[in-house]
Structure 1
């Protein structure tokens, strides 16, 4: 499943179930999440690959954030996705029929994942970690790049760096780096800025608790959607309560794909069902009173009513002054063959 038609990837919505570290350190739970994500209609399941010593400088992290004890370090160790899980998760995803990939938070993680993922995701916090971007670029694989908390100049630098590599795609994800973000922080119009400024595929990493912002993003042309996913919102861990459970995620995918269908295209298309409705909704010419053979049509002897069985209402001006070729009773429809050509 590593062979991916990336040219076709963005022709329809691509929905990612962000499993993150919601496996809580359980390989079996991670596998269960893979099957649940597939059942919910996701195109891909994504996890995160980090370790305490490749992501944090613990003493300074605690000092900067005002953390009073070091128990969080053990929690990080507990939820770390073990590198030897990777081939097993890939195999499980292949069995389930869903794509598997991950967010590497270190150079080592990029290398560990390389054989098993078709593309990578870079978290918002690492958009300025150029060493990581370069390492991913050298793999030649596509990249989803989150832009949460980023200045436009930082996005410019990251995109310019990645463009040096012949990657199948660079997809920018609009994201607000809050969990969850308030409505007034969403700035959804930035999706248009990303589309216009870079000419790259654009998606939306949605940290809100609902689906409204994602539905809006579909209408704005976003092609990729990432939403945090858990089997159980009551499990211990900071991310579970901000994630969707399977029931919620299934509704999410259904609503997004329905919104995509609603978009249609820019042409005016009238369906067969709608064409039938035209007969009943549009008006045709009827005799307002008896019209004698040879009499001229005027505004006092015809009326336009539903259904549009005879001459249609838009022929009104060309119909005026024409003579009828037969006696037409009051209330009868007036057909084209009832009218003289002259």
Structure 2
């Protein structure tokens, strides 16, 4: 069975999904706010609290244009936006990793440069690679050489690019890998979510656990996460905030603690409803099988030695006699005793 070890959990198609609360830079440079967001993620039921580790100078050129909804985040330059939120370094991430360990949630941060790959290695249980870096061969190689599990987002990628990234990772030492469907829109309109692409990834890469990284606006039912789970996603990532009304950054398409709690309650019910995959009678159906199914029944009084014809028989509940499954086998047999009307015919009532 395909699986991947994420933190203390083994994730497979039969497991509860691994939920990543993507705090990213929604802490806006405050270590105390970052710690608060970790605690909220834990209280909401996330498995991991994830950040983003970058420096604007190594991530984007100074003339890099925006690719997000500028009516929500008004900064027009990637460099300028990233510069606003790159104040955390090794010291801060170490403190946040320690805080995660203290409260019992996995610490993650996506590295966006080679130096970050190195210092995060001792802090994280696995690497998450952003969609935009699926073509960043040097970064993929550096991460793979660390020998840890890798979760790779595939937003805006075609199958050839995904296959190329997989080959680079494997050739460089990665032995545990999962793929996340993602749409690289911020935010992602529902009509762009294309959650069925999870099925496409499953078909193209059946050896890997598949997940979903979501950028849609959360609704009261957390529909995007629920549908993606039902389509087979077993790693679920969504941006996370303490206040969805805040402007800019990733607040405007993030979930909050109430959304996360609500989703976990819905998920718990859905997983109970799902049950087993092998079709068979279950224990609670035993009485129903016995009393709601039918038996072959005498339609009139029968004399010993009489040959059974269809006109002499009917079928009624309960299933205390011969099942109508054997109707053709019963027709033409002789009864070995007198039988009263409405009697459920049993095999011992028939001559050999």
| Shorter-chain TM-score range | 0.7 to 0.9
Structure 1 residue 326, shift from structure 2 partner? 4.1
Structure 1 residue 69, shift from structure 2 partner? 7.8
Give me the whole-angstrom Cα distance separating, in 2, the residues matched to 1:26 and 1:225.
Answer: 26
CA contact (8 A) 1:172 1:200 kept: yes
Give me the whole-angstrom Cα distance separating, in 2, the residues matched to 1:317 and 1:74.
Answer: 78
2:283 paired with 1:272:
yes
Give me the whole-angstrom Cα distance separating, in 2, the residues matched to 1:3 and 1:172.
Answer: 13
Give me the whole-angstrom Cα distance separating, in 2, the residues matched to 1:149 and 1:202.
Answer: 16
Helix, strand or coil for the counterpart of 1:139?
Answer: coil
2:49 paired with 1:39:
no
CA contact (8 A) 2:55 2:82 kept: no
1:298 aligns with 309
Deviates more, 1:138-147 or 1:315-324: 315-324
Q: 1:61 aligns with which of 64, 85, 110?
A: 64
Q: 1:329 aligns with which of 316, 323, 340?
A: 340
CA contact (8 A) 1:127 1:155 kept: yes
Structure 1 residues not aligned, in runs of 5+? none
CA contact (8 A) 1:51 1:77 kept: no
Q: Normalising by the residue count of structure 2, what TM-score does the alignment of the two structures yield?
A: 0.83
CA RMSD of aligned residues (A): 3.1
CA contact (8 A) 2:188 2:216 kept: yes
Deviates more, 1:241-250 or 1:175-184: 175-184
Structure 1 residue 74, shift from structure 2 partner? 7.2
The alpha-carbon distance between structure 1 residues 281 and 195, as it changes in their structure 2 partners (threshold 3 A), is same
Structure 2 residues not aligned, in runs of 5+? none
CA contact (8 A) 2:189 2:217 kept: no
Q: Normalising by the residue count of structure 1, what TM-score does the alignment of the two structures yield?
A: 0.85
Give me the whole-angstrom Cα distance separating, in 2, the residues matched to 1:327 and 1:95.
Answer: 79
The alpha-carbon distance between structure 1 residues 74 and 153, as it changes in their structure 2 partners (threshold 3 A), is closer
Helix, strand or coil for the counterpart of 1:163?
Answer: helix
Deviation string 1:37-68 (CA, Å, 9 cap, x unpaired) is: 2333322221111232232323x125999988
The alpha-carbon distance between structure 1 residues 34 and 299, as it changes in their structure 2 partners (threshold 3 A), is same
Structure 1 residue 34, shift from structure 2 partner? 2.3
2:239 paired with 1:228:
yes
1:159 aligns with 166
2:216 aligns with 208
Helix, strand or coil for the counterpart of 1:286?
Answer: strand
Helix, strand or coil for the counterpart of 1:323?
Answer: coil
CA contact (8 A) 1:287 1:303 kept: yes
Give me the whole-angstrom Cα distance separating, in 2, the residues matched to 1:86 and 1:297.
Answer: 83
Q: 2:22 aligns with which of 7, 12, 18?
A: 18
Helix, strand or coil for the counterpart of 1:318?
Answer: helix
Q: How many matched pairs?
A: 338
The alpha-carbon distance between structure 1 residues 229 and 269, as it changes in their structure 2 partners (threshold 3 A), is farther
2:11 paired with 1:9:
yes
Q: 1:117 aligns with which of 109, 116, 124?
A: 124
Structure 1 residue 104, shift from structure 2 partner? 1.0
The alpha-carbon distance between structure 1 residues 78 and 215, as it changes in their structure 2 partners (threshold 3 A), is closer
Q: 1:128 aligns with which of 131, 135, 157?
A: 135
Deviation string 1:181-205 (CA, Å, 9 cap, x unpaired) is: 2344333443344334343332211
Aligned runs of 1:238-253 on 2, under 5 Å? Answer: 238-253=249-264
